[in-house]
Amino acid sequence: MQSTTFEQLQADRAAKTPVVLAKNLRTGAETLLYLQGKKGTKGWPHEVAEAARAALLADRSTTIETEEGPVFLNVFNPPLRMIVIGAVHISQSLAPMAALAGYDVSVVDPRRAFATGERFPGVHLSHAWPDEAMEAFAPDLRTAVVTLTHDPKLDDPALAAALRSDAFYIGALGSTRTHARRLDRLRAAGFPEHELSRIHGPAGLDIGARSPAEIAVSILAQATERLRKRAA
């Protein structure tokens, strides 16, 4: 690997930029490819850039055959993150489950009595207001955002920030009626329908979940579905 390639790869990883290191296994030629733009594609068969994008979205490294030889696409995606708004009962189940599934989990709740280390051992906690917390976290394509407080003061600003971001999954807890009112408020705030449709509400796959742990399973399953099926 050329040192310039190596340094750029390390810089991209530090900046949490999804990147593919493409390597022609016959010639040794290499390049770095990104989700957007033509950077790095010059002189490479056109199918390579497309395959690199698919590999990033599928989060799976692979080798493709081209006229110029086999090209290995090594995927370097930033870590999965989940931002949970509300240090509530469901969060206590969701946080450890999501951590097991590979997410770097943060729980946001300005109500200090809720977001305590005793209730959330080993979980990153933020007592900032959701809009400030979301700005600090800067959700990207590898981030899921889940709002669980039922309180518009806390949930709405987080959802608005999530909609303005590339978050791959946005889930909002609440009954169908609660969710309809929530959409009305966000509509009034200027979000168009196609953006509002990114919010999964009520959050979670319909598996008949009842207990907080079961609801956490349904939410994690839905986030997984969005993560793994979007490339298809």
Partner 1 sequence: MTSAQNPDVLQQAGQWRRQGQGVAIATVVTTWGSAPRPVGSQLAIAEDGAFVGSVSGGCIEGAVVQEAVDTIRDGKPRMLDFGVTDDQAWEVGLACGGKIQVYVERLD
Tokens linked to 41: 């594609």
13 counts as binding partner 1 under rule CB under 8 A: yes
12 vs 156 by CB, closer to partner 1: 12
Q: Let me know: does 145 contact 169? Beta carbons within 8 Å.
A: yes
Backbone torsions φ then ψ of 146, nearest 5 degrees: -130, 125
Task: Work out the angle between the directed axes of helices 176-188 and 152-163 (0-180°, nearest 10).
Answer: 60
Closest CA to 145 of 192, 155, 205: 155
Instruction: List the 69-76 sheet strands across, edge first.
Output: 30-34, 19-24, 69-76, 62-66
Choose the binding region for partner 1 from 8-16, 37-45, 86-94, 133-141 (rule: CB under 8 A): 8-16
Report the nearest approach of partner 1 to the CB of residue 176 (Å).
Answer: 34
Report the nearest approach of partner 1 to the CB of residue 157 (Å).
Answer: 28
- Give the binding-site size for partner 1 (rule: CB under 8 A): 25
76 counts as binding partner 1 under rule CB under 8 A: yes
**Candidate list 74, 92, 116, 178; residue touching partner 1; CB under 8 A:** 74
25 vs 189 by CB, closer to partner 1: 25
Backbone torsions φ then ψ of 101, nearest 5 degrees: -80, 5
**Candidate list 11, 28, 39, 207; residue touching partner 1; CB under 8 A:** 28
Report the nearest approach of partner 1 to the CB of residue 43 (Å).
Answer: 19
- How wide is the angle at C-alpha 155 spanned by C-alphas 90 and 133, nearest 5°? 95
48 counts as binding partner 1 under rule CB under 8 A: no
Tokens linked to 95: 């946080």
Backbone torsions φ then ψ of 125, nearest 5 degrees: -115, 140
Q: Which residues pair with 172 in a beta bridge?
A: 147
DSSP 36: S
Report the nearest approach of partner 1 to the CB of residue 55 (Å).
Answer: 9
Instruction: Write the binding mask 159 to 198 for partner 1: x where contact by CB under 8 A, - elsewhere.
Output: ----------------------------------------
Q: Let me know: does 69 contact 27? Beta carbons within 8 Å.
A: yes
**Candidate list 2, 100, 153, 231; residue touching partner 1; CB under 8 A:** 2
| Residues engaged in binding partner 1 (CB under 8 A) | 1-3, 6, 9-10, 13, 23, 25, 28, 59-63, 72, 74-80, 102, 142
